[in-house]
Amino acid sequence: DSGVTQTPKHLITATGQRVTLRCSPRSGDLSVYWYQQSLDQGLQFLIQYYNGEERAKGNILERFSAQQFPDLHSELNLSSLELGDSALYFCASSVGSGREETQYFGPGTRLLVL
Amino acid sequence: GDSVTQMEGPVTLSEEAFLTINCTYTATGYPSLFWYVQYPGEGLQLLLKATKADDKGSNKGFEATYRKETTSFHLEKGSVQVSDSAVYFCALSDPLMDSSYKLIFGSGTRLLVRP
């Protein structure tokens, strides 16, 4: 158990819908990263938050957005869903953002868009 | 941009065989290097890491050495077990361009160990 929790574990929805994925980092971790794992794109970085502020953006679609709240949990919002958004979404957390630090991954949310 | 290339799988070995999974990288700066493992139906777990040239990361019998001259970080284990069957990901973090320690992953290598 990494100490990072993600809800829900599974999500099935229809095209055009909007969903919210939730991540609770390990106690004391300030950084949250979101990654997408799909068969065709592999594991890709989406976005990072550090202590409530956006730190870096990767290949995140404009239909997707995220935020980190004062209690440090984070949410990833996916809207106008398409079939190709079906994937496993991971969040990871670390204490800060440094060379020696380890990112700890949650179990992921599996999203299926029908 | 930065990238990681690892050998295609699946790799199928008999128990107690020697394992090598090749990983090479391209980076703008001076990256940290990682191996993560994903067991079926689970998230990613850090297996080992190295943050500077010639460092050797090791854990659970797995080893990898940061080779700056060959831009490589190959994963090795002397004697694999059935329980090592999983997908292994090589990754780097390189904050030079955007100050982020985000991970850039290779495509993953599936290992299957037969009894």
HEC string of B33-66 equals EEEEEECCCCCEEEEEEECCCCCEEEECCEEEEC
Q: Which of residues 23-62 of A touch B (CB under 8 A)?
A: 31, 33, 35, 42-45, 48, 55-56, 58
Could you tell me the sign of the dihedral formed by the alpha carbons of A11, A13, A16, A19, in that order? Answer: negative
* Nearest chain A CA: its distance from B98 CA (Å): 7
B56 touches chain A (CB under 8 A): no
pLDDT for A98: 75
pLDDT band with cut points at 50, 70 and 90 for residue B28: confident
Judged on CB neighbours under 10 Å (0-12, 13-18, 19+), A114 is exposed
Q: Position A97: which residue type? A: S
pLDDT band with cut points at 50, 70 and 90 for residue B106: very high
Task: Output the CA torsion B4→B8→B10→B11 (10° steps).
Answer: -90
Mean per-residue pLDDT, B39-59: 93
Residues of A in contact with B102 (CB under 8 A): 33, 45, 48, 56, 58
Q: Three-state SS for A26?
A: coil
Of the ranges A15-29, B24-38, B50-64, B97-111, which one carries the lowest mean pLDDT score?
B97-111
Nearest Cα residue in chain A from B94: A99
User: What is the C-alpha to C-alpha distance for residues B96 and B78, in angstroms, rounded to an integer?
Assistant: 35
CB A4 within 8 A of CB A105: yes
**How far apart, in Å, do the first and last CA atoms of chain A sit?**
31
Report angle CA A108, A3, B25 to the nearest 5 degrees: 60
Judged against a pLDDT cut of 80, whether residue A99 lies above it is answered with no
pLDDT band with cut points at 50, 70 and 90 for residue B88: very high
